[in-house]
Each structure stands twice: as C-alpha cells, then as structure tokens.
Structure 1
Amino acid sequence: MKRTEMSVPYGRSRILLVDDEAEILVALTDLLEDEFDILSSTDPVEALGFLRKSPDIAVIVSDQRMPNMTGDVLLSKAREFSDARGILLTGYADLAAVVAALNQGRIQFYAHKPWDSDSLRAMVREVAAHHRLERALMVERVLLHGALESVPMDVVFTESDGTVLRHNMAADVEPNAKGDIEENALHGEALRDEIVAMREETKQTGGASRLVSEMTPDGLRWHEIIRQTLPWPRNASGVPLPMPQRWQMSYDRDVTERLAMEERLRQDDKMHALGTLAGGIAHDFNNLLTAMLGSLELLQDMTPAGNPTVTKLFENALESARRGTVLTRRLLEFGRPKPMALRPVDMVAMIWSMQDLIVQSLSRASDLRGETGRCVLDLSAVPRDLVMPHVLSDPGQLEMALLNLCINARDAMQEGGMIAISLIHESAQDGVERVMLDVKDQGCGMPPEVVRRIFEPFFTTKGLGSGTGLGLSTIYGFLQRSGGDIRVESVPGEGTRMTMVLPVCQEKIAEDTHCLKVEEISNGPLRILLADDEPGVRLVTEQFLSQDGNEVVSVGDGADVIAHLAAGERFDLVVLDLLMPGMGGRECGLILAANYPSLPVLYVSGYADPENLPANAFVLGKPFTPQELREAIATTLRQRR
C-alpha cells in the first residue's frame, strides 16, 4: 500500500510510516495526519525508494518484524543517505534488536504494540523537532562555511583571549588549539600590535576598526580591519542568556586597489578644479600677454636699429613674455587638454628642423649658469637621409614634448654632457608598428621612487622656482590621448633614457597642398571688423592688421558687430573675440552664421571651449604673432572660398 505524496506546508514535518500490515498504517495515519504530512508503505524496499525521492522526510516510524527486511536493518540502510530520525514499533520478543539499534544510534525511540496514542504522538513530535533543529544547525554550518570560503576578505572568529575558532585564511591553524593565538598564527609581524590593541578595544566597546599598512614583497598593501563582539542569543523575554565568554569576529579586507582608485578620483577632482580655476584666469592673463607681446613687437619694429642695449632689452622682454605664454599654455592644456590635431609627421625632418632651437636652448642655459660644462646635442643616430615611417601625432605638441625632454636632460647635467636623440622603428608581436623616439642624457639619473612619480602633476626634482612640475605630466597626457606612450630608464649616477612611443601612420600620406597667402586669396587690402573688449588687445590687433594695409573698424562688443552690419556696412572679414561681456563671440558668431552666411569670421580666444561654434570655425589662440594672425586670416578666407 502506498499513500499519495503530498506537498509539505511550511512548518509541518513529513513522516514515513512502514509496516507490512495495512491496517496498522491506517491507524497510524489517523493518529498523526493532523500534525504531519504522511507517506506510507507496506514494503521496506519501496520505503527506501521514498526516502531517496523525498529528502525532506523527517521521521521514519517502522515496524521491527517485517518480511524480507527488519525495521532495524531498514533504519540502518536509511542512515546511509538520509538524515531522517527513526522510531521502532516492536513486540516484546524484539527487545534485543531494539536495544542494539538504540546503542548504535539508529533510532531515537521505540514503542510497544499496541501503543499508547498520546505517548507515540509525543515521541514523533519530539523526534520531528529534533530533526528540524539538526537541519537548522546544518544550514547554519553550510552558510557559514560558504560565506567563509567566498567572501573576498580574511575572516577570523576568536575567543576573548585570541584563540582561533574559525578562519578562512591560508594559514594551517587548528581551530580551538590554545597555542594558535590569532596575532601569532595568522598575521604578519606588521599587524600583530594592531590586532592585540583592537581585541582589547573590542572587549571594552564592542567594536573597533583600523586602516593599517603592511610592506610586502609586492609593495605596500593597505588593510581595512573591522572587529566586533558577536551578539549572544536572548531568551523569550529579550534578556541575554548567560555566556561563557565574549567571542569576537574580525574582517580583514585588502583595500589597496580601492584606496588607489579613491586617490585617482581625488586627483581627477583636483585636476577638474584646477582646470576651472585656470579657465577663470587664463582669458585675462592671455589678454595681458597679447597686449604685452604685441606692443613689444610693434615697438621693436618702430625702434631704429644700431643700439645693442635696446635690442637686448627688447629680446629679454619678448623672451620673458613668451615664457609666460608657454607656461600658461602648459597649465591650460593640463587643466583642460586641447583637442588633438593628428596628422602624419616625418620624425627625421621634424628633429632636424628643431636642431637650432634645441642647441640654442642648451647653450643658453649653460651661459646663464656661468658654468664651463656645456651640453652637446648628438644627432648622429638620426642622419638626414634616414628612412623612417611617418607617425600619427599632433606636430605642435610633439615638438613641444621633444623640446621639453631635451631641456629636462640639460637640467640633469649640471656639469655638462651629451644629449643623444635616436629613432627606432619597431614592429611588435601584436602587429602594431611604432616609432621609438629616444632622448638619452649623461646626467645624475633618478632612483626608482622618483621614477614612479615623475609624471605626477606638479612633482619636480628641481629647486624652488626652477620647475613647474607640469612638463612631463603634460607630455604623458598628450601621448596617452594620441595613442602613444612614454617609457623611462634611469640609473642614479649614470643618466636617463626617455622614450616616446608613437604609433605609425597607416594612412597614405597625401601631397602637401600649396598654402595660399592672404594676398593670393583677396583682391587687395581687406576691410575688417574687429571686436574685443580689452582696449590693449584691440589696439595691438588693430595695428597688426593695419600694417598689412587693411582698413580696420574696431568695437568692444558683439552687439556692436551686429549693429554695424545691420546699418548696411560691408566687411570682408570679422575678427571676433570669443569671451566678451554682453554679447560674446559665440552668440554673435551664431547670429552672423544665420544672417550673413557668406561673411568670413575668425575667432580669437585667450581660453575658451571651441565647441558649439559654426561649422569650419577657426579659432586663433592668444597671444599671437603678426605672422600667426596672417596665417589664421588666410585659413579663414580659404575655408569660406
């Protein structure tokens, strides 16, 4: 006989009844079915099959004397794959088998036939409760073991004296061994004092936390350690039960990567703040430089030649202003990198075109220092006829990067020496072709801890007032944005090799087109409308334009530009400052593009975001030279044509 299997409601245990007499099974079912879900069978072999299919069976109530298999044998076989608890129903003649089953732990209770209904019901109820408790403990054990094995941190359970109860660390520590104290068995020497202090603090306050560093063979690692007292169960009234001692649990998480990420985020925030600050002051500062440089160049042209002192003073003032321009542009590029103007670059031609500039920079520094040691440039590894594939880069920024590396090499050789530049064409295993531009010096070199930091913003090894700490960080940012990289090899006392890694240009190099000049594009002098809110900049720009014979009308606001055009005046070109009070160049330019689409507009900016401008807009950065202004005008007119 087999009873239909039922689903198990929450809170009810499932009971398996086994007896070769069907009438007995009916009686037992009637007795127990109001509290338990019942499965029943007259065949012990079939009953074992039920157990295999129903792992949620909590109690087996079995007759002892049955054909083919006795009850104690059935329960013994069931124990091999089931945690169900057993109760034997026996006659007096089976007492020896019952005693043996009890001694071997195969059954919890036995009852004589005929049974007392209340006693048997109480037995089943108690055995079912015992099974539920065992199951709950097993679940807790599985959960604890799974948590310990899977959590990405070191977890340790200890007694109040530090004896290890459980842990998931790699150390071979036997739980509850009195000699296995936590700080000695599980942690390195660097953490022992902290562990002891935290354990004592946890005894007093219930919890403690630390951020602790440890030097390992892989470098400095940071640990976030949290320790707390484990809560003890309470009785039904909420009062804590007596406990032998206060057990503790410790979490030790390696947070080195997290701290590094947080530091990078803080650095990003700092750079964003720097960019905002730089943007706020750069426009005014570049206006001042534009007025200074322009005025000096105009005065230099107006001053009769022949007085070497005056010439030297002019050159000194112009050089100082240009240095301010370079510094400002570096700072702005670092705070808000300008877009890449990537195009094919002939590295050999670029290096030789910069030879005079680099040599001048090296010799000038030696003269200023008043030292006998001189820096010499060695280009023997880059002959003029060297065949080298073009690289894809921004020519202006690449030239600035090379010059910066040469100047750094110069500064590293206080007693003079040789700076060698070389080029290597590399075809890597990944199929990517690269050109390696080496700048090697014979200077003082750098220790590893300095090499690790040289690309950090504002980090410099130079003395106070001798370096900004922006040069190498700017180079690093430029190369990263253009698909390149930079490598450093340095040995204290032996020198440094800086290697810029540049991607080879895969596109076919187009023939250079003839760059038209202003006079080749226009039929004669231009009538130009100039708008700039700074009187000094407006005066200098107006003089630059007038030198070439152009007629210039200058105003101080974008609204004045619109007013002149609305009055019917005709102009060949508008030169428009981007940032002006009232109507700025951006707003004015959009109006011009909508109402005067054929009118060329050249935008000028000390520091402004060039986005959201009309298509093909050309932006000339301040400060600028007369030649740069002429080239910008030619480009603007050519684009309009």
Structure 2
Amino acid sequence: MTDRPVVLLVDDEPEILVALTDLLEESFTILSTTSPVEALDILARRRDVDVIVSDQRMPEMGGDVMLARARAFCDAQAILLTGYADIGAVAAALNQGRISFYSHKPWDADALRAMIVQAAQHHRLEAELGTERMLLRGLLQNLRSGLGFKDPEGRFIRINRRAAAFFGRDEAACLGRREEELCDPAQLPGLRAAEARLAAEGRDEEVIAFPDPGGAGVTWREFTRAQLGGGDPRQGGYSVVINRDITRQREMEARLRQAEKMQALGTMAGGIAHDFNNLLTAVMGSLELASDMGPELDPGTARLLDNAMAAARRGADLTRRLLNFSRPRDLSLQPVDVNALLRGLRDLLMQGVTSRRGHDGGRVPFDIRMDGLAPDGDLPPVRTDAGQLELALLNLCINASDAMPEGGVIMLSTARVHMDDAAAGGDLAPGDYVVVSVADQGTGMTPETLARIFEPFFTTKDVGRGTGLGLSMIYGFVRHAGGDVRVTSAPGQGTRVDLYLPVHHCPVAGLAVEERTAPVTPSHAMRVLVVDDEASVRAVTAGFLRTMGHEVTEAQGGAEALARMEASAEGPDLAVMDVMMPEMGGEEAARRLRAIRPDLRVLFLTGYADDGSLPGDALVLRKPFTQAELAEHVNRAMAG
C-alpha cells in the first residue's frame, strides 16, 4: 500500500478525465481510462486501488454494472458520477452496496474531493482491520497453546481450536458460553479460585495436573489468565485465558534433574573411588611385600595372604568401574579377550539385575546365561576399551531386566563373523568382527520406539528410572571403536542387541600383560624420589622400589620434594609423583622440579579416572598397582 491513496477514474469523455485529474492529482495517485472494460482489467491486475470514480452512462457498460462486476475481485470504495437525473439507477446501486457515494455533473470540487478523501480513508481503515482480523485468526488457529477471549460476563467471544478441544468441543460450540459451563465439574472449585485471584490481582498463573484417559499418567497444563483494557473503564471486564500443555517440558525438567543427580552421584563415586584406591594401594602393596619377606611362608599363612590379595583385587575392579561411571576416560583401544571379560563380569551382572524387587517385595527371579559363548580358540581378541565394554554390557543387562518385570533369562553369547560389503551395509568396514549379543524375553519394542532408541534423552522408562543416555553412550562408544550396534525387537518377542567389535589382528602377545608375581630385577639402580601425601601409599611405593634395588627418598608433598631436590648434590634420576596433593599438585611440583633438574624423569600416580590436568605426554600409573606394574612403568619412564 502506497503512502498516497490510489484513485481510478473511469469516464468515456477524455475531457472529464483531464478535469478530474487536475482536481485530484495533488493528493492522490491517479489512474484513468475511458473504457469500463479496461477499468475492470486494471482492477484485476492492481490490488492497491482505494477509490473508483466512475461515470454512470458509458457506451460499453453502465457505471453501476461495471462496479458490480468489480466487486467480485476488488474491495475499493466506489463513487458514481451522473449528468442525468437517473436517480433510480443510483438508488439501486446504493441499496445493493455497489457504491458508497454519488455526485451530479457538474460537480462541486470541494464536495467531490471531500467524498474521495473520506472514501479513501474508509477503504484503508477497512484494509487495516481486515489485516488485523487475518493476523488474529492466524494467530489463534496456529498457536500451540489454547487461547480464548472473554467478554465482561465471562462468555467466550473468540477461541481457538486447541482451547475448544480441551473442553471436548469445536469453536462454534464454545462461543457465547462461560468456562464454568464447559469444564469438567471436578475443576469448578479450582476455576472459581483462579477467577477470584484474577479479579483481585488482574493476572493469575497456575499449573494443574490432569489424569490421562485410562489412568496411564498425567498431563500438565499451565493456565495464564489476564485482564485486558489496561485500566480503561470503557474496556474493563474483558479477559484472556491461555491454556498450554507443558507435559513434555515437565518431563524434560525431571530428566534434567535426574541427569544432574547422576552427575552428582558420579562425582561422589569418583571421590570415594579415589580415596579407596589409595587404601587399596596400601593394602595390596603391603600384602605383596609381606608375601616376599623372609623364608617360605607356611601354607595357612600363604592362603590367608592370597585370599586377602584376591579380595583386594576385586575391590580394585569395583573401584575401576566406579571411576568409569563417574568420569569416562577417552577410549583406550587395546586387544581384549571378550569371553574372559564376560566370565569375569558374570557376578557383577547378576548383582546388577537382581537388585530390584518385585511388586510383592520379593526378589525378581533372573538368570544370566552364557551358554552361547564361542569356543575360546575360535574367538580372536577384539580392539576395544575393556572398561567401557563392561559398562555397556552391564547397562544392556539392566535394560533387559527392566523389560522383564516378572523375571526371566538374559542370554549372553559371542560369535565370530566376516562382514562383506553387502552385510556391512555401509555402517561397517568389511572385515572380521566378534559379535557380543545380549538377548531378553521381555516386552519388546514397537518399530517407532526401535527407530529412536539411540537418540540422547529418549527413554521408555518412567521419570527417575533412567536418563535416556545409556544406549546413546553405548552406540557412541562402539562406533568410536570401529564397530556397530544392531538391535532386533518386536512387541511381545523380546529384544536382542548385537555389538559388532572389530577383530584385533596384532599377535596375541599384544594382549594385556598377565600379572607377574616374581621379583623384578632392575637393569640398574637409580635414585628415586617418591612424593605422595598418603603415608601408607608412599611407604608401599618406596618399599616396592627398594625391593627392586633402587635408592629411595620420600617426601609428603611438593614443597618438601623441592626442598630435598635443592639440598641434594646429585638429585634423583626419577620422581614418582602423586597427582592430587594439597597445597601443590603433582603437575606443578613436577614442573618446578624439572626447572631445577631438566633431565628429571617423572612417573605420575593417580587414583582418579582421568588425567586432564597433566600434559599429553605424561606417563601415568593408576592406583592400585602391583610391584610388577610399577617396575614396568619405571622402565618406561627411564626409556623415555
């Protein structure tokens, strides 16, 4: 719409058009034609004409007929000019709504100009109102919330589909009726209280839970009520009510709280595991040193020491899993014997899936079966992260138990497969894989659920029983290791999850080093500085190193280590340094020691899962450790 109103002049006499143009062109944009047929063509092409000024009697078509035809596609205001006393035609045109004004020829210039100004203003006001109506109607019908406007008597005068659907009706059935007439009778006390708050405060907001049909859950709705009119007494009493479904938002908030709780639990677990690792280092180290002391031990004492060491190793495994839960490390892809890992994990899997009680308070009967493991000789090692694979299998078994509320059998199996291009399907590189499968006899999944199971935060569990991150983390871990996850499921037929892990083609010697219990003979004796704030850990570390034949100096922190370095004429060849220490951490202490002795080699000890505070090339030994593992890392540190 242009700033100047647009006027179309239609008259079969060119002189009349010239006279009208001279009268109006200062205030209006003028279009003109001597043909009513051409005038209709102009109106069909242009949507910005505000006023049509037309002669009544023209050879091709009367002005009233032309204006009547124009009404089919044009809403411009019409003014009819006539030089004859044809009052009947003019009256008929006025009565039929085809024209707004008429004027005799010759016209009064001021009067005609005033008519055209008024007609143009009226047309533009109608256009603006039409636009407002269109926008309001579009807003009403496309809002994701229910919206309704009420008159001073509380009757709906506008309402959209979503608001009407909440009352179980269409829009027409709600108009002219009060909310009290439309809502469920059980909601009346709450509705009247909300209306009272609205009258007192001018605005009210509340969230209400509505039971779903069938009692499967609840739908949360947020109601916002506000008075309209801005305090103008002439517009007082009108109000708006907005009804918004916030069920998904509430669920996401609950899941976020659950994720935050899990993060807090992970942080707590990491702290406990760190302290427990220090205790286990002292226990396992002391047991190992005691076993190597003096003459041959009697069988009873040796058996007790072996039992204590085995229990400590189980504690170390549990702590490692706690750390993997609290702070998953970057994947450490190494050759892993899957069958051995599964057998070692069986007890933990049984504890994980039988910790839940049934509706009657008793234990739910579950069985973990590994009858389908491939023969060890047929199953090569895979290239994966053992800790993350254990965590993934535990997660899958817990999911399987959740799918069997009355208990059942969870089958774990392994197999070696060769994937060609067709079988790989673009998700895997062709080659050899070991498939680790977890199958249950549970409720299964629909195709719609199956299509979304790897989406982060998607879960079919009740709020508080899962974050929706488990399967997405498993998928990410397996894909990062070069494998794939494939799931087969159908309602009532259970679920089978297959983890495809790439075969490790290096020699078997690449497998994790078996624990060595024989004393380690060093290649040469060295001066070693042991720095740890835990006295028991420091004593065990120093004891291991002295047994290896090294000369050991101990320090309980970074400051004492610096003092000993400065007081020593030669200084140590190697510093064995705890990472987490009060006042001065291991990374800072090592940096300051190397400033004094640049060729100093450093081996860091940590009880945490990650070592993000250390340089990328740092050599790290995780607690608890054996004498053999310490000796191996000392040799690696000295070899650079």
Q: Smaller-chain TM-score range?
A: 0.7 to 0.9
**1:478–1:72 distance in 2 versus 1, CA, 3 Å:** closer
Aligned to 1:130: 122
Aligned to 1:209: 205
Q: Distance in 2 between matches of 1:376 and 1:585?
A: 46
**1:491–1:13 distance in 2 versus 1, CA, 3 Å:** closer
Give how far 1:59 is off: 1.1
Aligned to 2:448: none
Aligned to 2:159: 166
Equivalent residues of 1:578, 1:608 under 8 A apart: no
Q: Distance in 2 between matches of 1:168 and 1:362?
A: 53
Supply the AA of the counterpart residue of 2:384: S
Q: Which of 335, 347, 350 in structure 1 is aligned with 2:338?
A: 347
Aligned to 2:557: 557
Supply the AA of the counterpart residue of 1:422: S
Partner SS for 1:504 = strand
**1:358–1:102 distance in 2 versus 1, CA, 3 Å:** closer
Aligned to 1:464: none
Partner SS for 1:528 = strand
Give how far 1:65 is off: 1.2
**1:420–1:522 distance in 2 versus 1, CA, 3 Å:** same
Give how far 1:86 is off: 0.7
Q: Which of 85, 90, 93 in structure 1 is aligned with 2:77?
A: 85
Partner SS for 2:372 = coil
Equivalent residues of 1:163, 1:180 under 8 A apart: yes
Q: Distance in 2 between matches of 1:182 and 1:436?
A: 64
Give how far 1:501 is off: 4.1
Partner SS for 2:86 = helix
Structure 1 residue 286 corresponds to structure 2 residue 283: no
Q: Distance in 1 between matches of 2:11 and 2:395?
A: 96
CA-to-aligned-CA distance 1:540-561 (integer Å, 9 cap, x gap):
1111222233332222333554
Partner SS for 1:607 = coil
Give how far 1:84 is off: 0.3
Q: Which of 40, 45, 48 in structure 2 is aligned with 1:48?
A: 40
Equivalent residues of 1:225, 1:251 under 8 A apart: yes
Equivalent residues of 1:579, 1:608 under 8 A apart: no
Give how far 1:424 is off: 4.9
* Number of equivalent positions: 590
Q: Which of 198, 216, 224 in structure 2 is aligned with 1:227?
A: 224
Give how far 1:105 is off: 1.2
**1:120–1:335 distance in 2 versus 1, CA, 3 Å:** same
Equivalent residues of 1:349, 1:384 under 8 A apart: no
- The unaligned stretches of length 5 or more in structure 1 are 1-6, 367-373, 460-469
Give how far 1:32 is off: 3.6
CA-to-aligned-CA distance 1:152-176 (integer Å, 9 cap, x gap):
3343445555657331339595544
Q: Which of 143, 146, 151 in structure 2 is aligned with 1:151?
A: 143
Structure 1 residue 540 corresponds to structure 2 residue 540: yes
TM-score, with structure 2 as normaliser: 0.74
Equivalent runs, 1:511-530 vs 2, <5 Å: 512=509, 523-530=523-530
Q: Distance in 2 between matches of 1:241 and 1:407?
A: 66
Q: Distance in 1 between matches of 2:109 and 2:399?
A: 99
Partner SS for 2:587 = helix
Aligned to 2:257: 266
CA-to-aligned-CA distance 1:399-432 (integer Å, 9 cap, x gap):
576689899999x99xx99885422568777444
Structure 1 residue 335 corresponds to structure 2 residue 331: no
Q: Distance in 2 between matches of 1:95 and 1:152?
A: 55
Supply the AA of the counterpart residue of 1:630: A
Aligned to 1:466: none
Partner SS for 1:68 = coil
TM-score, with structure 1 as normaliser: 0.74
**1:183–1:228 distance in 2 versus 1, CA, 3 Å:** closer
Equivalent runs, 1:496-507 vs 2, <5 Å: 501-505=498-502
Partner SS for 1:241 = helix
Aligned to 1:65: 57
Aligned to 1:97: 89
Give how far 1:23 is off: 3.5
Equivalent residues of 1:18, 1:60 under 8 A apart: yes
Supply the AA of the counterpart residue of 1:553: T
Partner SS for 2:112 = helix
Q: Distance in 1 between matches of 2:538 and 2:490?
A: 49
**1:261–1:178 distance in 2 versus 1, CA, 3 Å:** closer
**1:81–1:381 distance in 2 versus 1, CA, 3 Å:** same
Equivalent residues of 1:424, 1:436 under 8 A apart: yes
Structure 1 residue 8 corresponds to structure 2 residue 7: no
Aligned to 2:20: 28
Q: Distance in 1 between matches of 2:559 and 2:80?
A: 104
**1:475–1:174 distance in 2 versus 1, CA, 3 Å:** closer
Equivalent residues of 2:380, 2:503 under 8 A apart: no
Aligned to 2:358: none
Structure 1 residue 19 corresponds to structure 2 residue 15: no
Supply the AA of the counterpart residue of 2:578: D
Give how far 1:135 is off: 0.7
CA-to-aligned-CA distance 1:208-249 (integer Å, 9 cap, x gap):
3333355368964644433334624x8xxx844257x63534
**1:231–1:437 distance in 2 versus 1, CA, 3 Å:** same
Supply the AA of the counterpart residue of 1:603: F
Supply the AA of the counterpart residue of 2:250: L
- The unaligned stretches of length 5 or more in structure 2 are 355-364, 446-458
Equivalent residues of 1:435, 1:501 under 8 A apart: no
Equivalent residues of 1:157, 1:250 under 8 A apart: no
Partner SS for 1:135 = helix
Partner SS for 1:50 = helix
Task: Give % identity.
Answer: 41
**1:105–1:339 distance in 2 versus 1, CA, 3 Å:** same
**1:262–1:403 distance in 2 versus 1, CA, 3 Å:** closer
Q: Which of 89, 93, 109 in structure 2 is aligned with 1:117?
A: 109
Partner SS for 1:512 = helix
**1:491–1:133 distance in 2 versus 1, CA, 3 Å:** closer
CA-to-aligned-CA distance 1:484-539 (integer Å, 9 cap, x gap):
769899999xxx99966433217754663597999999533444221222222211
**1:628–1:403 distance in 2 versus 1, CA, 3 Å:** farther
Give how far 1:66 is off: 1.9
Q: Distance in 2 between matches of 1:545 and 1:456?
A: 49
Aligned to 1:370: none
Give how far 1:287 is off: 2.8
RMSD: 5.1
**1:193–1:624 distance in 2 versus 1, CA, 3 Å:** farther
**1:497–1:113 distance in 2 versus 1, CA, 3 Å:** closer
Equivalent residues of 2:397, 2:438 under 8 A apart: yes
Give how far 1:568 is off: 4.3
Supply the AA of the counterpart residue of 1:546: R
Partner SS for 2:628 = helix
CA-to-aligned-CA distance 1:58-84 (integer Å, 9 cap, x gap):
111111112222211221222121110
Structure 1 residue 394 corresponds to structure 2 residue 385: yes
